[in-house]
Amino acid sequence: MPNNKRSVIVAIDGPSASGKSTVSKRVAEDLKFVFVGSGAFYRGMTWKSVREGVEVKNPEQVIHLMFQLKWNFYAENRVVVFTIDGEDPGLQLRSEPVREKVATIATIPEVRSFLVERLRETKRFGDMVMEGRDVGSVIFPDTPLKFYLDADPQERARRRHKELVQMEGEGNVSEVLDSLTRRDQIDRTRKIDPLQISLGAKVINTTSLGIEEVVSLIVSNVQQAISKGL
């Protein structure tokens, strides 16, 4: 595996349903890099909290649970995944209880500090594309390859609604928009590591762009940077 200091890291940030997960996975595939979804780590902590009956609005309970857990991270088909206490949460990471409570978990400073360190440790898997909300600003602020994806709220709600219908067979666009708006407010106003456009990031508005267009744009930028020695 590549030496940590030589790993190429592509940071892709943005709000919920901006297209960053789908785009990031495709970019990683095209570049043959490892993919890391930082949000999954926070959803994992949320899933375990819900499973154990922990009140997510009580930081002390969450922190106490966090330090009792055994996490195991590994790369499978160039995707970093994990188990918690030997269990793979799988699709439960996308369940409604997790979706509705993960933003609260993510505001706890100790949780963020713990998971940021775990995310930084994934460098050992080699060149990677990592997506999230603070990859370029907090986790890997020194990477020169930073992108920030955004889209109009209505378009983001439409995309998330489509995902929910595919996963759960139902969904209401207005309710999805309200949920995204609440999540945006929490993400952008939290005191620790708020969602923001990191210094040096290339902003891409995906509202009227197809996935292929966005992927091609990012891959081209990365390849050019690598050819120039970053």
CB atoms within 10 A of CB 139: 24
Which of 100, 109, 102, 97 is closest to 46 using CA atoms?
Answer: 102
Question: What is the DSSP code string of 107-157?
Answer: T-HHHHHHHHHHHHHGGGG-SEEEEESSIIIIISTT-SEEEEEE--HHHHH
- Average of per-residue pLDDT values in the chain: 90
∠ CA 132-211-175 to the nearest 5 degrees? 65
Tokens describing residue 48: 């375990």
Q: What is the pLDDT of residues 111-130, one digit of tens each?
A: 999 999 999 999 999 999 99
Q: What percent of the chain has pLDDT over 70?
A: 95
Report residue 56: phi and psi, to 5°.
-65, -20
Q: What is the pLDDT of residues 82-104, one digit of tens each?
A: 999 999 999 999 898 998 899 89
pLDDT (0 to 100) of residue 214: 96
pTM of the model: 0.87
Identify residue 123 by its one-letter amino acid code: K
Q: What is the pLDDT of residues 157-179, one digit of tens each?
A: 888 888 777 766 666 678 888 88
Give the integer Cα–Cα distance in Å for 20 and 151.
Answer: 10
- 4 pLDDT band, cuts 50/70/90, is very low
How long, in residues, is the chain?
230
Cβ atoms of 82 and 73 within 8 Å: the answer is yes
Which domains are seen in the chain, by residue range?
Answer: 7-227 (3.40.50.300)
